[in-house]
Amino acid sequence: MGQVINGKEIAINIKEEIKSYVLKRSEDGKNIPKIASILVGNDGGSIYYMNNQEKVARSLGLLFNKIVLESNIKEEELIDLIEELNKDNEVQGIILQVPMPKHINENRVINAICPNKDIDCLTTESQGRLYMGVEGFLPCTPNSVITLLRSLNVNLEGKEVVVLGRSNVVGKPVAQLLLNENATVTICHSRTKNLKEVCKRADILVVAIGRPKFVDDSYVKDGAIVIDVGTSSVEGKITGDVDFEKVINKAAFVTPVPGGVGALTTTLLLKNVCEALKKNED
C-alpha cells in the first residue's frame, strides 16, 4: 500500500509564510500585496476559481480586487483596462480568468499583461523566460507538481519521468521544470505508441490528460510516484485522471484528487504576488 501525498498540509506551511510576510509589512506600514483578478462573462468554472482565489487571498491578509465584466465587452476596452492595471503601482499581480468569450482574441488580451505582473505565467514573454531558463514567475500548477515532489525529499536528478499530456498549461511547462532538475523526461500524448509500456518505465508518472480514472495500476511501475493533475467533474464530484484506489496499491506515493496538486495551486499563485512586490522594491 502506497502513501498519500497531502497537498493541503504542504499548502498550510506556505500559507503561514505568506501570512507572516503580509503581517510584517502591515506592522511596518508598508504596501500590502494586491491582486487584480479579471473575469469576462459568467463561466461557472472561472467564477468558482476566482471566488476561491479571493477567499484564500483575504484569509492571508492580501488585497484582492475582483473585476467582473459583461461578456459583450469589446476587446479594446478590456486591453485598455489591463493597461491601466499595468500602470497602477498598487497592483502587483494581474490574473485573467480563461476561457473568455469567443469574440475576444484570448492570446492578444493575455499578452497585454505586463510580464512583471503576470503571476499566472500566461504571457508569451513569461513562458519564454521559463523555457530559456531566465528568472521569472513559475506557472502555478506545474510548480505545484515540483513542490509536491520536493516535499518527499526525492532527488530528481537522473530519475525517469513520464508526463502524460502535452498541454501548454501543464504538460509542456512541467516537463521543462523537471528538465531543470536534471530528470530524464518523456512526454506522452494521444499518438504515443505502446503507451502503457512507456508509462511503466517511469520512476515518476505525471498525469494531465483530462480523462477521469484513465490511468490504472497497469500503467504504473511498482514503487513509482504518481502525480495526478486531472480535475474532471463526474457525477458532481471532482475526479482525477488516475484511478486512485487501484494505483495506491502499487505505487509508493500518489496524490489524491481533490487534496493534491490543486490544493497547492492557488497558494503558489499568491506566493508569486508576494515575490512580485519584493522584486518591485529591489
Sign of the torsion angle spanned by Cα atoms 83, 45, 260, 196:
negative
**Distance in angstroms (rounded) separating the CA atoms of residues 3 and 16:** 25
- Asked if residue 211 belongs to a known ligand binding site, the reply is no
Is there a binding annotation on residue 167?
yes
| Pair 257, 239: CB distance under 8 Å | yes
Q: Determine if residue 165 is labeled as part of a ligand binding site.
A: yes
Closest CA to 163 of 204, 128, 197, 133: 204
Do residues 22 and 33 lie in contact, with contact meaning Cβ atoms separated by under 8 Å?
Answer: yes
Quick check: helix, strand or coil at residue 94?
strand
173 sits in which H/E element: helix 171-180
The answer to the question of whether 150 is labelled as a binding residue is: no
Q: What residues are designated binding site for NADP(+)?
A: 165-167, 231
Q: What residues are designated binding site?
A: 165-167, 231
